[in-house]
Amino acid sequence: MSNIHFITHPEVVVDPAKPVPRWCLSDKGIARIRLFAASPVMARVTDVWASDETKAIEAAGILAGFHGLPVQVLHALHENDRSATGFLPPHEFEAVADRFFSAPNESVRGWERAADAQARILRAFHDIAAKTEARDGDVAIVAHGGVGTLLLCALSNVEIERSYDQPFQGHYWTWSRQEQRVVSGWKSIAPA
């Protein structure tokens, strides 16, 4: 039976002059996703999906290219909508992100509500699972940490909490189709 791996893009080039969804992978991020593409975890991948954000498409492209596969892009896999604030300095971002996870039914500073982002990413996950159900291989979904955490919480039947967030960019968790459950928490795609 196959697995679905939810993968977050690795390190990016932070460019406050660009919209965050258009940020690109850094050299370190590229190196890490290349290592992951060649890892045993990805050996059975037959389908690669990505959010429509540049960093996710780039990471998915490296992964798919290694296996000779196309990338299927799905808008609904995008990160929680933070366009109301745009780029925030790290200390400010962390404070707003803490509030985003702790008050899932509120829009924090105009951000998409965590509850809404969770419902969207859960629908996208089920959509991809249904479209790839007949395949014998694994599915790789390349997206983002915030929505990845929200999805992990939903599929694990736990309340939304930031304590379930990835430690840093470039992690994955795995859903077993056979067991119909999350079978691993966040794991690093490659050494940081």
- Other Cβ atoms within 10 Å of 165 Cβ, number: 19
In the 8-state DSSP scheme, what is residue 40?
A: G
Residue 109, token pair as written in the block? 């500073």
Q: Express each pLDDT in 107-146 by its tens digit.
A: 999 999 999 999 999 999 999 999 999 888 999 999 999 9
Helix (H) or strand (E) holding 143: strand 138-143
Q: Is the distance from CB of 69 to CB of 47 less than 8 angstroms?
A: yes
Question: How many distinct helices (H) and strands (E) make up the chain?
Answer: 5, 6
Q: Express each pLDDT in 19-72 by its tens digit.
A: 999 999 999 999 999 999 999 999 999 999 999 999 999 999 999 999 999 999
Spatial separation of the C-alpha atoms in residues 87 and 81, rounded to whole Å: 12
What pairing do the DSSP bridges indicate for beta strands 181-188 and 3-8? unpaired
Which residue in 46, 124, 138 sits closest to 79, CA to CA?
124
Q: Is the distance from CB of 82 to CB of 108 less than 8 angstroms?
A: no
CB-count burial class (<10 Å; 0-12, 13-18, 19+) for 110: exposed
